[in-house]
């Protein structure tokens, strides 16, 4: 049997090992998402005080399950699939050492199962962060170590596939931008996983009584894992934006130099953001906090602001080149809003930028963190980044991966079309409500904000009750969207109808539009004048959109300084 | 030829940028510098900074110091906890442990105190209700901040770092008396 098959839609040669590995990682990611999603439902119905479903023990237990299953297992399994797609598949190359790759996957699964087991049996009620000296059973830490080692192996396979592709000349020129972005995600993953080893191995030994771990040092090194892992997400998500922009509307890359340099800025500076969690800690001084929380004078923020411009501008230009050039926003009106890959990408960009990005930079400001730390403002922020941003982008990509890699049509395609809307709007309501409740001081990770049994009464403003109820409704919408995603993907993969080669046109009712119209092949092949290579058409729509974004950013940022100035003098 | 994200970049791709890109990058860069400048500026001019004075401390030593502080300025008791009224300018100690904040503090509006915080067991979170002021309280570290209550009234300290099963009952109390009343008390005591 030939080790490669040719993708009938894109013409890429697809290595069968890459095919199988991607499928395995995608299935593991979906199982993790299901577990994390059930946990989300239980946590949500407990924090909604009107229902207050779980008791305190199970609330913190399930909250631990939610954090680990979503932020570590779902996200990293999916990211490994993305790396295997951006490496071997986009470069037409084989997977080197497939047995080692399967070994890495096996370690990840074993680690995840061990961690889930310890959590569900109540031996690890320490939440996602497991701050020392809260102690879990040693197997909890061991499971995380196994998972991290497995992920490191897979990242190594990805890097090896780049070398193999180069040596075997499976592509010409420089790697595609999407692969370049995936390489940055891979490098950040190595940084992240090494931090993970540096903290979980000592903590594992500590849990067996073999050494001491300082609680502040733990927080410092742990966040090198905890926050940096979210930066793998950012790099992977931005790569997926570029990927989906091309697949859904023929989005172009305005300038390779600018987009690639922005990715390099991520590698250099984004891991410093772990300081965001330590701004009101006793262990570090002002200079350390200011320098690190700003990721070297906000150079990683600059990178995100660049991608936040170049991705929509590339979409706008792709649409205009294909003839949708009416007025300022004609390209947006004529965009394929019924293509779940496209709508997911747009929601991911908008909510990540407007809510996740702006709140993140603001709360990550040294002094403003005083009025944000450990309040609901923080989960409000990261549900906008990791869920509405990263997970939404991953979902959009899945609608393309199922026909391209699994060669299956999408089941319940009508549901799939509305899924991004339901998920994005629900999660938007959810994150905004959390952020708002947090500005009243409502704590995160708290079983009972009516404080029954406490020695002194605390009565939040009645507005908080309303906001928490709205949060619950948004959360339920998001969970419903997530459930539809799982139903559609699992059904398509395991019971779906096959997509026969070359017959995409027949199945407009069950595969995304981009795979039928192939917009990236419709871009006119005009050469640009080498004297004036920047003259590739104006992008007025994007200019208006980023201007609105910039105004929102400035307003929110300074409003928070104003809020800070009203509280007690502290210094 | 237009480049896209999924095909290799051919030839030399280090080319001058799109004009709109250049303008946006210049704006974004300038904004990044503003973001960066605000933090040192607030250290110089602003009233809220999280630096303070920080030391390592043995939990037992911190507890002993807190007990001395309580004995020195104790004025009463409520819910089994001592109420302590230190004079303006005093070193004030607050201990977090599973699952209470000790002692109850009675402070004076407009006066400045040096508030030392630490934990005897696991991480705790200091959240001042209803003002939403937050600090991390870590065992083994003495975090001392100069605080000036700007308003009289009843306040709560809510633990907002997960610290075990009784986390949600970990609520402490701070009372801030008006400046005039505080001065009268101080006068009466002399």
Q: What is the pLDDT of residues A278-312, one digit of tens each?
A: 999 999 999 999 999 998 889 999 999 999 999 99
| B189 pLDDT more than 50 | no
Cα–Cα distance measured from residue A516 to residue A509, given in angstroms and rounded to the nearest whole number:
11
CB contact under 8 A, A567 and B10: no
8 Å CB contact of B25 and A302: yes
Spacing of C-alpha A161 from chain mean position: 24
ipTM value, please give it. Answer: 0.95
Count of H-run helices and E-run strands, chain A: 20, 3
Distance, in Å, from the CA atom of A457 to the CA atom of A453, rounded to the nearest integer, reads 9
Return the residue matching tokens 């799109």. B18
> Has residue A84 got a pLDDT over 50?
yes
- Give tens-digit pLDDT for B106-122: 999 999 999 999 999 99
Asked if the Cβ–Cβ distance from B133 to A370 is below 8 Å, we say yes
Average confidence score pLDDT of chain A: 94
Q: How many other C-beta atoms are found inside a 10 Å radius of the C-beta of residue A268?
A: 14
Would the pLDDT of A9 be above 60?
Answer: yes
Q: How far is CA A143 from CA A40, A64, A339, in A?
A: 22, 14, 39
Tell me how many helices (H) and strands (E) chain B has. 3, 12
- Assigned architecture for domain A12-249: Up-down Bundle (1.20)
What distances in angstroms separate CA A458 from CA A230, A442, A451, A455, one per listed residue? 34, 11, 7, 10
- The answer to whether B5 contacts A131, with C-beta atoms less than 8 Å apart, is no
- Reported as a pLDDT band with limits 50, 70 and 90, residue B183 is low
Residue B142's closest CA among B115, B175, B174? B115
Task: Identify the three-state secondary structure at position A174.
Answer: strand
pLDDT band of A535, cuts 50, 70, 90: confident
CA dist A233 and A390 (Å) reads: 6
pLDDT tens digits, one per residue of A325-351 = 999 999 999 999 999 999 999 999 999
Give how far A413 is from chain B: nearest CA, Å: 26
Taking the CB of residue B107, how many other CB atoms lie within 10 A of it? 26
Q: What is the pLDDT confidence band of residue A533, given thresholds at 50, 70 and 90?
A: low
Contact list, A441 vs chain B (CB under 8 Å) = 127-132, 158
Q: Under an 8 A CB cutoff, do B38 and A533 touch?
A: no
First vs last Cα of chain A: how many Å apart? Answer: 71
Nearest to A87 by CA among A144, A155, A138: A155
- Cα–Cα distance for residue pair B124/B173, rounded to 1 Å: 16
pLDDT digits (tens, 9 = 90+) for A235-248: 999 999 999 999 99
Burial tier of A63 (Cβ tally within 10 Å: 0-12, 13-18, 19+): buried
pLDDT digits (tens, 9 = 90+) for A211-261: 999 999 999 999 999 999 889 999 999 999 999 999 999 999 999 999 999
Say what percent of chain A tops pLDDT 90. 90
Q: How far apart are the CA of A109 and the nearest CA of chain B, in angstroms? A: 28
For the cut 70, the answer to whether the pLDDT of residue A1 exceeds it is no
Cα dist. A278→A286, A367, B137 in Å? 11, 12, 11
Question: Quick check: A340 and A399 in contact, CB under 8 A?
Answer: yes
Given an 8 Å threshold on Cβ–Cβ distance, is B168 in contact with A306? no
Contact between B96 and B166 under an 8 Å Cβ cutoff? The reply is no
Which H or E run contains B87? none
A502 or A184, higher pLDDT: A184
Residue range A403-421: average pLDDT? Answer: 95
Sign (positive or negative) of CA dihedral A240, A384, A302, A263: negative
Domain boundaries, chain A: 12-249
The band of A525, judged by pLDDT with boundaries at 50, 70 and 90, is confident
Shortest CB distance from A443 goes to which of B27, B50, B160? B160
Residues 48-77 of B with CB under 8 A from A: 48-52, 54
How does residue A8 score in pLDDT terms, banded at 50, 70 and 90? confident
Contact A301 B80 (CB under 8 A): no
pLDDT at B187 over 70: no
Q: What is the mean pLDDT of residues A404-426?
A: 95
User: What's the average model confidence in pLDDT over B37-63?
Assistant: 95
Of A178, A302, A546, the CB nearest to B32: A302
Q: Which of B21, B35, B173 sits opposite A309 (nearest CB)?
A: B21
pLDDT at residue number A215: 97
DSSP-derived secondary structure for A131-145: -TTS---HHHHHHHH
Of A318, A338, A341, A256, whose CA–CA distance to A521 is shortest? Answer: A318
A531 alpha-carbon distance from chain centroid: 40
**Sequence-ordered list of residues with C-beta below 8 angstroms from that of B123, at least 6 positions apart, any chain:** A131, A134, A215, A219, B136, B137, B138, B139, B161, B162, B163
**Rounded Cα distance, A171 and A162, in Å:** 10
Looking up tokens 């409500």 gives A433
Q: How many CB pairs under 8 A join A and B?
A: 341
pLDDT at B6 over 80: yes
Do residue A371 and residue B133 have CB atoms under 8 angstroms apart?
yes
Instruction: State the pLDDT confidence band at B190, using cuts at 50, 70 and 90.
Output: very low
The verdict on B103 touching A (C-beta cutoff 8 Å) is: no
Percent of chain B exceeding pLDDT 70 equals 95
What confidence score (pLDDT) does residue B185 get? 67
Cα A472 versus chain centre, distance: 22
User: Given an 8 Å threshold on Cβ–Cβ distance, is A177 in contact with B3?
Assistant: yes
Beta strands in A369-486 (DSSP E): none
In angstroms, what CA-CA distances link A291 with A321, A389, A480? 43, 26, 41
- In terms of DSSP bridges, do strands B81-84 and B104-108 run parallel, antiparallel, or are they unpaired? parallel
């Amino acid at each position: 049997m030939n080790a490669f098959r040719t993708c009938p839609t894109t013409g890429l040669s697809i290595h069968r090992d890459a095919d199988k590995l991607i499928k395995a990682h995608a299935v593991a990611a979906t199982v993790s998402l299901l577990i994390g999603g059930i946990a989300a439902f239980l946590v949500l119905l407990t924090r909604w005080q009107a229902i207050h479903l779980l008791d305190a023990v199970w609330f913190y237990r399930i909250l631990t399950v939610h954090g680990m299953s979503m932020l570590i297992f779902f996200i990293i399994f999916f990211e490994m699939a993305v790396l295997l797609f951006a490496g071997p598949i986009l470069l037409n190359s084989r997977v080197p050492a497939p047995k080692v790759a399967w070994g890495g996957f096996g370690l990840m699964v074993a680690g995840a199962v061990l961690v889930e087991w310890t959590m569900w049996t109540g031996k690890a009620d320490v939440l996602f962060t497991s701050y020392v000296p809260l102690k879990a059973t040693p197997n909890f830490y061991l499971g995380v170590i196994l998972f991290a080692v497995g992920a490191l192996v897979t990242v190594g396979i990805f890097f090896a596939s780049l070398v193999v592709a180069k040596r075997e000349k499976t592509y010409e020129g420089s790697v595609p931008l999407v692969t370049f972005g995936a390489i940055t995600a891979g490098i950040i993953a190595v940084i992240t996983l090494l931090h993970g080893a540096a903290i979980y191995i000592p903590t594992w030994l500590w849990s067996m009584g073999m050494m001491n771990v300082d609680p502040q040092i733990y927080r410092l090194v742990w966040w090198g894992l905890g926050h940096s892992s979210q930066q793998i997400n950012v790099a992977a998500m931005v790569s997926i934006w570029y990927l989906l922009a091309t697949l859904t509307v023929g989005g172009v890359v305005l300038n390779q130099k600018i987009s690639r340099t922005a990715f390099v800025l991520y590698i250099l500076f984004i891991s410093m953001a772990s300081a965001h969690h330590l701004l009101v800690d006793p262990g570090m001084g002002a200079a350390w906090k200011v320098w690190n929380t700003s990721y070297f004078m906000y150079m990683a923020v600059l990178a995100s602001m660049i991608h936040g411009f170049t991705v929509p501008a590339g979409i706008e230009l792709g649409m205009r080149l294909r003839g949708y050039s009416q007025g300022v926003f004609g390209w947006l009106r004529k965009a394929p809003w019924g293509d779940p890959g496209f709508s997911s990408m747009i929601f991911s960009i908008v909510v990540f930028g407007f809510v996740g990005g702006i709140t993140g930079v603001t709360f990550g400001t040294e002094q403003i963190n005083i009025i944000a730390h450990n309040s609901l403002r923080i989960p409000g922020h990261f549900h906008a980044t990791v869920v509405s941003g990263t997970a939404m982008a991953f979902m959009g990509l899945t609608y393309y991966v199922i026909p391209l890699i699994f060669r299956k049509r999408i089941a319940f395609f009508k549901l799939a079309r509305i899924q991004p809307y339901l998920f994005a709007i629900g999660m938007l309501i959810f994150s905004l409500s959390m952020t708002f409740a947090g500005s009243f001081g409502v704590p995160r990770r708290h079983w009972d904000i009516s404080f029954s049994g406490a020695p002194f009464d605390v009565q939040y403003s009645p507005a908080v009750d309303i906001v928490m109820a709205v949060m619950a409704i948004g959360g339920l919408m998001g969970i419903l969207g997530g459930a539809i995603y799982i139903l559609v993907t699992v059904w398509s993969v395991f019971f779906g109808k096959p997509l026969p080669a070359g017959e995409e046109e027949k199945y407009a009712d069950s595969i995304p539009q981009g795979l039928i119209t192939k917009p990236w092949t419709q871009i006119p092949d005009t050469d640009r004048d080498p004297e004036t290579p920047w003259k590739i058409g104006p992008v007025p729509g994007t200019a208006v959109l980023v201007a609105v974004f910039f105004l929102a950013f400035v307003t929110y940022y300074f409003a928070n300084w104003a809020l800070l100035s009203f509280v007690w003098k502290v210094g | 030829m237009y480049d896209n994200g999924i095909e290799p970049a051919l030839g030399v791709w280090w080319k001058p940028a799109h004009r709109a890109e250049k303008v946006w990058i210049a704006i974004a860069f300038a904004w990044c510098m503003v973001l960066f400048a605000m933090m040192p500026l607030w250290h110089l001019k602003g009233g809220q900074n999280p630096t303070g004075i920080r030391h390592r401390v043995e939990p037992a030593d911190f507890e002993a110091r807190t007990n001395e502080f309580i004995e020195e300025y104790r004025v009463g008791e409520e819910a089994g906890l001592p109420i302590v009224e230190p004079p303006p300018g005093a070193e004030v100690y607050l201990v977090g442990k599973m699952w209470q904040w000790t002692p109850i503090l009675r402070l004076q509006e407009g006066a400045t105190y040096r508030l030392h915080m630490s934990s005897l067991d696991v991480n705790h979170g200091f959240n001042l209700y209803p003002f939403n002021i937050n600090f991390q309280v870590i065992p083994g570290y003495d975090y001392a901040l100069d605080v000036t209550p700007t308003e009289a009234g009843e306040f709560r300290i809510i633990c907002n770092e997960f610290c075990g099963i009784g986390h949600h009952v970990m609520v402490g109390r701070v009372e801030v008396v008006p400046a005039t009343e505080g001065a009268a008390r101080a006068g009466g005591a002399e």
